[in-house]
């Protein structure tokens, strides 16, 4: 069952969900990451993000290198 998102996730919340201490990027890039993960939490729940964080991080890294829009 999905958890309801009651408030906006902070970047710190997103990094905790992804299991990372820091994330490289400009403020705009980090905001895009925050919104993408927030959207995934709204649609699929925290558990989905926690269980798939390695793949989500890989997808984000590919996005950053290739500047694609396939993930976020």
pLDDT score recorded for residue 1: 46
- Asked whether residue 53 carries a pLDDT value surpassing 50, the answer given is yes
Q: 33: Cβ–Cβ under 8 A, 6 or more apart, which residues?
A: 11, 14, 23, 25, 60, 72
Domain boundaries, the chain: 11-18+25-66
> What mean pLDDT is predicted for residues 47-64?
94
Quote the radius of gyration of the chain (alpha carbons, Å).
12
- pLDDT tens digits for range 4-50: 545 699 999 999 999 999 998 899 999 999 999 999 999 999 999 99
pLDDT score recorded for residue 6: 57
pLDDT score recorded for residue 65: 85
Contact 38, 31 (CB under 8 A): no
Confidence band, pLDDT 50/70/90 cuts, at residue 70: low
């Amino acid at each position: 069952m999905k958890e309801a998102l009651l408030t906006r996730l902070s970047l710190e919340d997103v990094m905790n969900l992804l299991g990372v201490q820091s994330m490289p990027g400009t403020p705009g890039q980090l905001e895009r990451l925050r919104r993408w993960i927030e959207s995934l939490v709204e649609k699929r729940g925290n558990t989905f993000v926690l269980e798939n964080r390695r793949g989500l991080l890989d997808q984000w890294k590919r996005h950053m290198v290739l500047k694609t829009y396939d993930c976020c």
